[in-house]
Amino acid sequence: MRKCTYLLDKHRGDSRVGSSPRLACCAAEKARLTDPGMTMKTRRIILISDRRESRTFIAQELTREGFVVQATDDPFDLCSVFKRADAELAIIDLELAGISGLRADWDRPIAIAIGGAVRSVDKGGNGGGPVADWSGSAPGAPVVDAVHRSLLVRFPAAAERLAAAMAAGKTVVRLELVLTHAGSELFPAGYLDPAGLSFLGRTWADAAPRWHVVAWPLRVPWSADPRNGPTWNASAAGTAYWARFGASDAQRDHHPTPLGPAEVSQQRPEGRIDLTALLSDPAYGETPALRLRRFSDHGLLLRKLEVHDQRYWVGGYEWATATGPRGILLGDLRLEAVLKPGPAARLALPPRARPQAGGAPTAALPAGAALQALLQRHAFRQPAWMDDGQWRRVQELAAIGRRAAFPADEAGYLAWIDDLLGRAPRRWAGF
């Protein structure tokens, strides 16, 4: 029985960088196929793509490598394709969105695209390099850290495509999210520089990390949209809110058990997270059809696992161990389903789910009269019980000790909040 590989290319994303992110995805796939150490070792490929330039480019590249390529332009004509021999299916069809707990991003949908925006940060003797840029209107690069920045990913055509494969007599024996490493941030945007840069030296720059990505299956639908996409507060900006900011409620926003971890690093440039349970475990839906629909519509929340990295401890002070804000930059993300012959199963998929309006922001700050009352309550002022002589002495001591008073106005209060949010967990603070 001949074995072939099916490549599906119907990528939703930005095409500003390079020749195209779609082609970059497929080029990465081609490299995997030609690597004898990989699992998809075959010489016959059926390339399914709805984009002529993509079909032409990839077909030429694969033919040059000695593959026999059959190309088609109908990505949904799967039943006839899957009647053939054993197959491994690569579905390159994704939606990405970013959510960030930095205050400016609480209610802002963040567009993400493979090959999206980065900028360079250079700290001289401490090193430098690319960091994801989520600040502008252009889609940002995919990145995950362990503090504020998470990545939402879903595969909106997966339910229909896998259901078609099952109807044609295929069984999904393994489902994997594949992540490729594009870099490790040193000094990410939006966070404070670590304390004691002179003591940190080139510790980060000279020692590549070996961090991991975990995937939390989400419980609610979302859709990448520049106006109504997910935010730190909401699954749909301004209408449908997470139970807790950052989709962090384990009962209503995401399932309690993460999938993974998978190392994604310079040493291991490709990480794989097994998602098979999402299609087989009743915890994710009572029926196979419901599990398929939820996987396709809800997707995953991706985060970096390591909040703190003791590998960077060099004795004495912890100048370098607070690495939570440093992100893993991701290159390609794709879904791979390994299919084997099995009994035909026709699934009646439920209709696509839509975000349901309701809830309220859970990341919010006092404003107006409430803020003024807070500022007054914590203001640095003479207590009623303290005499003037004592108060003068307290003021002298405060000045000598460079004591920072509670903010006196709204601008100072917001700057104070931003400073707190910009600090890495377990950041050294002693000066």
Pair (372, 323) in one structural domain: no
- pLDDT tens digits for 193-211? 988 888 889 999 999 999 9
Lowest mean pLDDT among 72-81, 137-146, 309-318, 379-388: 72-81
- Domain count along the chain: 3
Q: Give the mean pLDDT of 391-403.
A: 85
Q: Which two tokens stand for residue 391?
A: 């108060």
Asked if residue 348 is part of any domain, the answer here is no
Q: Which of 322, 341, 360 is the last residue of a domain?
A: 341
Asked if residue 358 is part of any domain, the answer here is no
At residue 247, does pLDDT exceed 70? yes
At residue 420, does pLDDT exceed 60? yes
Pair (86, 110) in one structural domain: no
Pair (285, 375) in one structural domain: no
Q: Which residue has the higher pLDDT, 228 or 314?
A: 228
pLDDT of residue 68: 67
Confidence of residue 93 (pLDDT cuts 50, 70, 90): confident
pLDDT of residue 198: 84
Task: Give yes or no for a contact between 200 and 126, defined as CB atoms under 8 angstroms apart.
Answer: yes
Pair (84, 128) in one structural domain: no
At residue 15, does pLDDT exceed 90? no
Pair (242, 301) in one structural domain: yes
pLDDT of residue 400: 85
pLDDT of residue 361: 97
- pLDDT tens digits for 351-387? 999 999 999 999 999 999 999 999 999 999 999 999 9
pLDDT of residue 37: 41
Q: Which of 47, 64, 90 is the last residue of a domain?
A: 90
Q: Give the mean pLDDT of 22-43.
A: 44
At residue 182, does pLDDT exceed 60? yes
Confidence of residue 315 (pLDDT cuts 50, 70, 90): confident
- pLDDT tens digits for 136-174? 889 999 999 999 999 999 999 899 989 998 998 889 989
Q: Which residue has the higher pLDDT, 189 or 19?
A: 189
Tell me the DSSP string of 339-374: EEE-------PPPPP-PPPB---SS----HHHHHHH
Neighbour-count burial for 89-103, b at 16+ CB within 10 Å, e otherwise: bbbbbbbbbbbbbbb
Task: Give yes or no for a contact between 296 and 157, defined as CB atoms under 8 angstroms apart.
Answer: yes
Pair (328, 402) in one structural domain: no
Lowest mean pLDDT among 86-90, 207-211, 347-351, 420-424: 86-90
Confidence of residue 94 (pLDDT cuts 50, 70, 90): confident
Asked if residue 234 is part of any domain, the answer here is yes
Pair (70, 211) in one structural domain: no
d(CA 293, CA 339): 18
Asked if residue 211 is part of any domain, the answer here is yes
Question: How many Å is the Cα radius of gyration of the chain?
Answer: 25
Q: Which residue has the higher pLDDT, 84 or 237?
A: 237
Task: Residue 272: name the closest of 256, 255, 291, 259 by CA.
Answer: 259
At residue 79, does pLDDT exceed 70? no
Task: Give yes or no for a contact between 4 and 87, defined as CB atoms under 8 angstroms apart.
Answer: yes
Pair (114, 246) in one structural domain: yes
Asked if residue 55 is part of any domain, the answer here is yes
Domain that includes residue 31, residue range: 4-90
Asked if residue 56 is part of any domain, the answer here is yes
SS3 243: coil
Q: Partners of 45 in the beta sheet?
A: 5, 69
At residue 77, does pLDDT exceed 50? no
CB atoms < 10 A from the CB of 227, how many?
8
Task: Give yes or no for a contact between 284 and 342, defined as CB atoms under 8 angstroms apart.
Answer: no
Q: Which two tokens stand for residue 428?
A: 């050294």
Pair (118, 60) in one structural domain: no
Q: Which of 56, 90, 124 is the last residue of a domain?
A: 90
Name the one residue in this structure whose structure tokens are 């998602």: 275
pLDDT of residue 289: 96
pLDDT of residue 195: 85
- Give me the chain's average pLDDT, please: 84
pLDDT of residue 417: 96
Asked if residue 359 is part of any domain, the answer here is no
Asked if residue 168 is part of any domain, the answer here is no
Pair (304, 279) in one structural domain: yes
Pair (49, 106) in one structural domain: no
Pair (249, 111) in one structural domain: yes
Confidence of residue 267 (pLDDT cuts 50, 70, 90): very high
pLDDT of residue 401: 72
Q: Give the mean pLDDT of 227-250.
A: 97
